[in-house]
Chain A
Amino acid sequence: MFAPFILALRAAGVPASITEYLALLRAMKEGVAGFSVDDFYHLSRAALVKDERHLDRFDRVFGEIFKGLESPQGEAPRELPTEWLRKIAEKTLTPEEMKQIEALGGFDALMETLKKRLEEQKGRHQGGSKWIGTAGTSPFGAYGYNPEGVRIGQEESRHRRAAKVWDQRTFRDLDEDEALSSRNMKVALRRLRRFARTGAATELDIPGTIGATAKNGGSLDLHMVPERHNAVKVLLLMDIGGSMDDHIRICQELFTAARSEFKHLEFWYFHNCPYERVWRTNRRRKETERPMMEVMRTYGPDWRLVFVGDATMGPYEIIQPGGSVEHWNEESGEVWMNRLTRHFRKAAWLNPIDQQHWRYTQSISIMQRLMENRMHPLTLAGLESMARELAR
């Protein structure tokens, strides 16, 4: 009997097993969790998650599965009848229960009915037991459910209540596969800095050397000083003007925040696929445009080239001359990509699309091939692997 809660966790990449699920059930029977939803959350987390990197995934699944649990008016202490809590853990989530729910028209319908009953209940005398004890005839009676102290949430009320612990997603930063956002920016920045720090540690101190050499009566005395900036120079080419804008902004913030760590950092924009022109300011595209050839002359092969884009477009936009949707391009995107990767020997592509979906989009596969498989997801883990590769 494998519970869907466990299945949902496993599907989300939390390797919880039946052993752990049974431990959870036993702990509930022992009454470890007290009477609040928060306690139940803490308990199931302590029982089912064994790695801090998985805590955030757990929070998401928990929020999804236990959508219905919450307190009246979203107040802080979330009191729940123990019995009901136990039963929901034991029963709601078994295959049989799912079938029952199905028979009732799905989970939402069940909750809707329950809510209506609750409202009915409110008009009657306190603690009325219209359906308590009618086990077998009412889907709720079987739980020994006591309506006081709980509200069954619907979407609209979800937005008005106080945030639940698991909704706060405190462990997000610890998840390696979380997409880059202002939340995990700090961690990302640390990764990026580590990458920036690779490079020459010292440089020639010219005034020092001249002074010392003069004092030495003309025989050369070299002096070195620690270099304040690191040697890494980064050229960012970013896809702008569409679905990508949010990701681009995040990326730009990230690299800008690390700016002092790089020897040089330059931004340029393209749309969908790099062709013969790039520009510096999207709002004043025409005035700030530069030929790609000039960019390649300006920045030497020692610059690290980082593309940011979803690489999602019609395949012809990459492989055919004139394939661009915006202008007539004499040479195909493929030709330009090859030129760029030949000039900038160290290059990488950051893609915000979930890596699982890459192989279903033809243009991503083409771009991945042109990049010689140096495409990385725009996540902490992806940033790390990009940094490792570019530092080599």
Chain B
Amino acid sequence: MAQFKGTDNYVASRELEVAVNASVALQRPLLVKGEPGTGKTVLAHEIAKALGYPLIEWHIKSTTKAQQGLYEYDAVSRLRDGQLGDPRVHDIANYIVRGKLWDAFEADAPVVLLIDEIDKADIEFPNDLLLELDRMQFFVYETRKTVAAKHRPVVIITSNNEKELPDAFLRRCFFHYIRFPDRETMEMIVRAHYPDIRQDLLREALNVFFDIRQVNELKKKPATSELLDWLKLLTIEDMPAEALRSSDAKTAIPPLYGALLKNEQDVHLFERLAFLARRRGG
């Protein structure tokens, strides 16, 4: 069996590799937690690539119901077809819309199934999927058919920790918590994306980045994706490294900071801090 390992494009710690390989070998879901931007979603893509499996993505929203992952019965279409006298109306199977789990179960070769941001949904959501994920099958009442997985998919579940997950659900998963990357790891991640970035620019940018993350009042601290966006802008503008040099993140607004601070309140906070600092200093 192919093993998962970090690649040129994705920096994976050994502990992450072990957790992924355990979940692949035992065919149990892997629950991945960590701050936004720590590479949870991208991980599923990388696993699919490493194993050579197709990826099926199910992005969860606050309104997503577990049943939608199995199938939905489209009564409205059937009603319309009935009015138009379409002969399809006689077979209810025509109105069963497959969900992501169904797609994953029926696939002819094993797939990776990503259930992204499970904590966005209703608190009952994970419990409602327990049995299906355990047995890898479910029953379609309308057509009286059982859909069973031809190959048990590799299931990757991510959570941003907005809600606690039920114990029964947790017991069935392997778990990995991605720590926010330290400076060294972050440098590797940046290089994975921009292999040719100038060393001096990267150093100064990381200084600013980790300084900003120290400002505890921020509503949303910039994470990896913001850093990558910002570096891209800095490179496009051909920003000299000196432009980033400053002793204190609070006293100066870094160039093109819009890419780092996505939240309007945080931008205001920054401008105010810089203003106060200048007034105090001047």
A residues sitting closer than 8 Å to B (CB atoms) are 15, 17, 19-20, 23, 26-27, 30, 32-34, 38-39, 42-43, 45-47, 49-52, 55, 170-171, 189-190, 193, 226, 228
Contacts and interface: CB of A to CB of B under 8 A. Distances in A.
Nearest to A16: B171
A33 B18 contact: yes
Interface stretch (B25-33, B123-131, B203-211): B25-33
Interface of B: 14-15, 18-19, 21-23, 25-26, 28, 31, 33, 167, 170-177, 179, 216-217, 272, 276
A52 B177 CA distance: 6
Contacts of A171: 177
B230 to A, nearest CB: 24
A39 B33 CA distance: 20
Nearest to B19: A46
Contacts of B31: 50
Contacts of A226: 272
B18 A32 contact: yes
Given A27-B25, A32-B25, A190-B216, A50 B170 contact: yes
Contact of B14 (A19, A32, A38, A50): A38
9 contacts: A15-B167, A26-B26, A39-B14, A46-B174, A46-B176, A50-B173, A51-B175, A190-B216, A228-B276
A67 B18 CA distance: 22
A321 B18 CA distance: 64
Contact of A42 (B15, B25, B167, B173): B15
B146 to A, nearest CB: 25
B171 A19 contact: yes
B22 A47 contact: yes
B191 to A, nearest CB: 23
B178 to A, nearest CB: 10
Contacts of B19: 42-43, 46
A52 B165 CA distance: 13
Contacts of B25: 27, 30, 32
A51 to B, nearest CB: 8
Contacts of A15: 167
Contacts of B177: 52, 55, 171
B228 to A, nearest CB: 24
Contact of A52 (B14, B33, B174): B33
A133 B18 CA distance: 32
Nearest to A53: B177
Contacts of B26: 23, 26-27, 30, 32
B171 A39 contact: no
Contacts of A50: 31, 170-171, 173, 175
Contacts of A170: 179
B164 to A, nearest CB: 9
A45 B26 CA distance: 15
Contacts of B28: 23
Contacts of A42: 14-15, 18-19
Nearest to A31: B25
B212 to A, nearest CB: 15
A293 to B, nearest CB: 38
Contacts of B18: 32-34, 39, 42-43, 46
Contacts of A38: 14
Contacts of B33: 52
A185 to B, nearest CB: 13
A309 B149 CA distance: 61
Nearest to B280: A228
Nearest to B34: A52
Nearest to B24: A32
B22 A32 contact: yes
Among A27, A39, A46, residue most surrounded by chain B Cβ atoms (within 10 Å): A46
Contacts of B21: 32
A17 B22 contact: no
Contacts of A46: 15, 18-19, 22-23, 174-176
Among the interface residues B25, B173, B175, B276, which one has the most CB atoms of the partner chain A within 10 A? B175
- Ranked 9 nearest A-B pairs via Cβ: A46-B19, A50-B170, A42-B18, A52-B177, A42-B15, A30-B25, A32-B22, A46-B174, A50-B175
A48 to B, nearest CB: 9
Given A23-B174, A226-B272, 13 more contacts: A15-B167, A19-B171, A30-B25, A32-B22, A32-B25, A33-B18, A38-B14, A42-B19, A46-B18, A52-B33, A55-B177, A170-B179, A190-B216
B175 A49 contact: yes
Contacts of B14: 38-39, 42
Nearest to B21: A32
Most buried by B among A32, A193, A226: A32
A228 B280 CA distance: 12
Contacts of B216: 189-190, 193
Q: Which residue of B18, B33, B216 has the most chain A CB atoms within 10 A of its CB atom? A: B18
Nearest to B28: A23
B66 to A, nearest CB: 20
A145 B24 CA distance: 29
A170 to B, nearest CB: 7
Contacts of B175: 46, 49-51
A82 to B, nearest CB: 14
Given A45-B15, A190-B216, A228-B276, A27 B171 contact: no
